[in-house]
Chain A
Amino acid sequence: MVNSDKHRNGDALFKGIAQFFALSIIAILLLMTYRMVAESMPSIRAFGVSFISGSNWDAVQGQFAALPYLYGSVVSSLLALLLAAPLSLGCALFITELAPKRLGVAIATLVELLAAIPSVIYGLWGIMVMVPWLQSTVQPFLIEHFGFIPLFSGAPYGVSMLAAVFILMIMIIPIITSITKEVLLAVPQSQKEAALALGATRWEMIRIAVLPYGRSGMLGAVILGLGRAIGETMAVTMVIGNTPQISLSLLAPAYTMPSVIANEFAEASSKLHSAALMEIGLILLVVTLIVNSLARLLLWSVSRKLGGGAK
């Protein structure tokens, strides 16, 4: 009896501590949001909705609107994701299903190493190697052959939306690949054998047993990549050209929300200027929350449809 009481006390204590930490995370998030809203107030009051719909950013005139940054962040991240997702899936499939075991492990380790490289290094590589290459080779080629499409019109500046898309793609491939790899490894042997026993080839086995089983997990991997791309600051700032404009052309320079905060916060000239930057931070926070909630919702509906079978 004494013993079990002791256990109960231990349990209660542990539960209390765990609860405290869980609640403090929520408290920190709420406090942070509150502070950000409070700090953005001057800008919210001054510009209202036009802060999101307008595109004039002029610190001297005291005019601030965030649409170009929002546009730059969303477009660069989504395009990067569009390119990175299939490449990562192919890479993960190669590691788990196609490559000989040792080669697979070697590649997986390499991919994980890539994820650990600081983003400023990617940025340096981008600005010193990729951007010159884009400017001298890729962009002139695109302009010459596809220039009639608005996406590829304009002059070859090097620094551009395209450069940001490429660098983000390279940066999120490791994380999507390594999570997708885990998801694929978690597909039970019994599912693969079920397909093989029906006379499926290796590729057919992947198609009917592996991919459907892992799809909710893979979706999670992709969303995580998106979250990372939207928040990425350093490398993008170095290659995107930092020009607040909305251009259909991928060759034109652009700007993202994290980049403008990083570039201007230290030298914000007025109260309104820092409030506007703070409001951009708030928008970034909201966008990230929406992306993640959307992902949860999707994941939840997929796993419910599977009747809990694919855990």
Chain B
Amino acid sequence: MNCKVQIDKLNIHFGQTHAVKDVSMDIAANSVTAIIGPSGCGKSTVLRSINRMHDMTPSARVSGRIILDGSDIYDRSLDPVSIRRRVGMVFQKPNPFPAMSIYDNVIAGYKLNGLLVKKEADQIVESSLQRVALWDEVKDRLHRSAMDLSGGQQQRLCIARTIAVRPEVILMDEPASALDPLSTLKIEELVEELKEKYTIIIVTHNMQQAARVSDVTAFFYLGEMVEMGPTKKMFTTPEKKQTEDYITGRFG
């Protein structure tokens, strides 16, 4: 297995709260890994540690290692900004920049690399929007506010904005939980396609969604990773009793 991200004995505290306990996971390149579990079990917390989002939370303490392509992202010599260029993130609630047009939203992250030629920008905007299947819907109003889009379109715009930066890994934290069923379906199809180029880690509280989109599923409970394995196996013959109880809906 070509291991893209390796989480090794990860522990995360918020003040006195021990939110993530001794979690170790190996995540293969170009795969979709789903993280499932009842709410409050530490799914988002683990996910956000993979692009050092906790750096902004003064009370957060992260220990253990997260190896991205052979180097520890928590190594002091590494700049979190450069990590986040390689590990993009899509959030639960669509969060386009309200003061920017659709076009400017897509190019916002890429532009941070420096000045760019208009032609190059046009091309990145088009290809990113094509990839998230939004191009045809918005090509006539690229310079209108991103807030005119529906929730599902906004979320796809946020994904386009993320892939425009050309990351290697994309983290998604319940990306469809605020969307209607049709938009959810579109996001799921998109995840399926994106894994050709990216390594995807997706948090979801929706087990059917995990079953549909992921290759590997990890089940979390109370801050610990109970079990991780091929999705098919996890949903048919899990090894742990807790996993079975959860996926059969006996709790959570």
Which residues does A use to contact B, with CB under 8 Å? 101, 188, 190-201, 204, 208-209, 212-213, 215, 305-310
Contact = CB atoms under 8 A, between A and B. Distances in A.
A196 B98 contact: no
Contacts of A192: 56
A191 B51 contact: no
Given A194-B97, A200-B109, 6 more contacts: A195-B108, A196-B53, A197-B84, A198-B162, A199-B84, A309-B145
Contacts of B158: 194
A193 B145 contact: no
Contacts of A101: 58
Contact of A209 (B53, B82, B97): B97
A198 B99 contact: no
A306 B100 CA distance: 8
A75 to B, nearest CB: 32
A208 B148 contact: no
B81 A208 contact: no
B161 interface: yes
Nearest to B93: A190
Given A190-B95, A209-B97, A213-B98, A198 B88 contact: yes
B165 interface: yes
Q: Which are the 4 A-B pairs with shortest beta-carbon distances?
A: A198-B109, A309-B98, A199-B85, A212-B99
Given A197-B53, A198-B162, A199-B85, A310 B112 contact: no
A190 B91 contact: yes
B109 A212 contact: no
Interface string B129-147: 0000000000000000101
B234 interface: no
Most chain B beta-carbon neighbours within 10 Å: one of A193, A208, A209, A308 = A208
22 contacts: A188-B95, A191-B95, A192-B56, A193-B56, A193-B89, A193-B91, A194-B96, A194-B97, A194-B158, A197-B51, A197-B84, A197-B88, A198-B84, A198-B85, A198-B161, A198-B162, A200-B109, A212-B98, A213-B97, A305-B145, A308-B147, A310-B99
Given A197-B51, A197-B53, A198-B112, A309 B85 contact: no
A196 B91 CA distance: 12
Given A101-B58, A200-B109, A215-B99, A194 B145 contact: no
Contact of A194 (B56, B82, B95, B112): B95
A238 B188 CA distance: 70
A200 B81 contact: yes
A234 to B, nearest CB: 39
B97 A212 contact: yes
A201 B145 contact: no
